[in-house]
Every structure is written in structure tokens, then in C-alpha cells.
Chain A
């Protein structure tokens, strides 16, 4: 019997494709944001608000990841420059988008006419934490009804996030969510993270969030 030393990261195959995706995006000066959250936290609503607010300022495409259906793609259609729906049901994994799926989706995108791609990941706080897609920034949305303990229960997704959105701020009077405690636990895990407080219902915070996006795109992937 012979022992072969390997020491190889099992997720390396995904990471190789992810860096290839990022090279392709960089070549076309396209900025990509991976948006992750539990189901129902408001990913689609925030994307819709962002598309409306940044209309005429950025050409935005959306990649929708869902286990099944085209419900989200239909909502976004007409507001985005391009929409690609990925259904993960018939793929080897259904719980998260993976770099190979994004590679396929990018083939259908007019990259030279796009400034920003918003990638709506599958609703899940566990699996997307493990798979990079080639995105430039990772954003996690937590909504008030989910409770303020999520960073401690699902730390990995928060550890690697560039920004965290606290969504559904309009529900604050009705739920026991300690904003200060939540912000403290995120800052503890990830001192550099940006935190935004939003409500798609009242519009609170949308402008600040969109300014952050504009700043990211203009600094990192200016088309002109």
C-alpha cells in the first residue's frame, strides 16, 4: 500500500471557475454583487428598488437563482438590461448558485453594455457561504422577522460579507429585534463590513445603499 499526499482543497474546482468568471467580468468592466439571504428576507424587493433607483445611471443585469420557477425573473424583467434565470432543481446541487452556473449565465449577457450584475442567490444562509461565484462584493440581507441571532447561528456567511443589509426596518415597532446587538455581533465577526438599514416599504435607506453601489462601480469598474 502506498500513501499519496494530496492536501487539495475540495472546493478548488469551484474557485478556479469563479476566478475565471471574475477575469471575464473585469475584461468587460462589469461589477458583480452576490446577494445572499434566507428565503423571504427581501432579495428580490431590494433588487427591484435598486433597479428603479439607479435607472438611467447604471446599466444593470440580474441573474436570478432559484430552485424552481421564473417568478423572480418575471418581476425583474423590463426593469433590468438583461435577466437570466437559473433553476437549480435539475443541477447537481440545488441549495446555492455555483461558479459554473454563473459561467453559463454570463454567456447570455451583453457584457459590453452592462455596468453591474446583481446576482440573486438561492435563499439559504448555509450553502452560499461556501461557494464564490466570481463576484466582486458579497452582500447578506437579514430581515427583522428573522431575529437578531443569525450572525451567531450562521457565522460563515457574515464573516465573508462586504456588506450586510438589515431589511424590513418598518417592522421594528412590531418585533423584538435588537439592532445594536445585531450590529455588534456582525462587527465582532467582520470589523470591515458595511451595514445598511433598509425598508423597501418606506424607502428608508435605499438611497444610501444605492450610493454605496454607485461608489463601488465607479471605483472598481468604470465603463467610461
Chain B
């Protein structure tokens, strides 16, 4: 639902980086999006197509690397994937867990020419 603002930031950061590199065209933007981050790639793509129009990023490919969610048990440090509604440690049964991976939302790199 909040992908428009996120996509605006993606376009702004990309154009700034491409400008610094004196690029003529952005070919691909490599994004890293965690499973828990709550952003929908299709939705970002949809907004990107309209926001990048008439810029050097128009037509660039958005490549999404999805990071699966991983939790870490605070008691025994086991790292495990969440099982839909049960977030307890498979090793010790502990219910005190922290999110280890899956909240990422960043631009990894931009490919230009």
C-alpha cells in the first residue's frame, strides 16, 4: 500500500547515483527486499514504469532479490524459518525470538551505461 513513496525513493536514489557516474542510461536496478518488509514487487514495478518515464531510468529492469524470513532464538541462538503462526524455536521450544533476516529493503546496485 505504501509502494508509491518507496518507488519514488528508488527512482531518486537511482537517478542520483547514475548522475554521479555520468551514465546515459540505467539498464538494471538490483533491489533486496526482505520477506517481512511488506513491500510487493509487482506494485513497485507498476509505479516504477510511470515514475521513471522520460528519465534515463525509463525501461530499466527491476531485479528483486527476496530474502526469506529467519528468526533467532534468544535462548539458544538457533536460527530458523518461521512456521506460519508458530514462532517458537524448533530446538529448545523457546518463544523468545528476534527477527534475524527478512526486514531488508535496499538498493544493492545499479547497472548503467
Contact = CB atoms under 8 A, between A and B. Distances in A.
A6 B109 contact: yes
Given A1-B113, A129-B38, A156-B103, A7 B5 contact: no
B106 A8 contact: yes
A108 B108 CA distance: 39
A191 B96 CA distance: 7
Interface stretch (A32-40, A180-188, A216-224): A180-188
A11 interface: yes
B97 interface: yes
A1 B111 contact: yes
Interface stretch (A50-58, A89-97, A194-202): A89-97
Contacts of B62: none
Contact of A2 (B1, B23, B74, B97): B23
Q: How large is the interface on B (under 10, 10 to 19, 20 to 34, 35 or more residues)?
A: 35 or more
Interface string A110-148: 000000000000001011011100000000000000000
B33 to A, nearest CB: 9
Given A8-B106, A130-B37, A188-B96, A2 B21 contact: yes
A189 B1 contact: no
A152 interface: yes
A210 interface: no
Interface residues of A, number: 38
A149 B87 CA distance: 12
Given A2-B23, A191-B74, A7 B36 contact: no
Given A4-B17, A129-B38, A191-B96, A9 B112 contact: no
Interface of B: 1-2, 4-6, 8-10, 12-13, 17-18, 20-21, 23, 27, 31, 36-38, 74, 85-88, 95-99, 103, 105-113
28 contacts: A1-B112, A2-B21, A2-B111, A4-B111, A5-B108, A6-B106, A7-B109, A9-B105, A10-B9, A10-B106, A11-B9, A92-B4, A93-B1, A93-B4, A95-B1, A126-B1, A126-B38, A127-B2, A130-B37, A152-B85, A152-B87, A155-B36, A159-B98, A184-B95, A188-B88, A188-B95, A191-B74, A191-B96
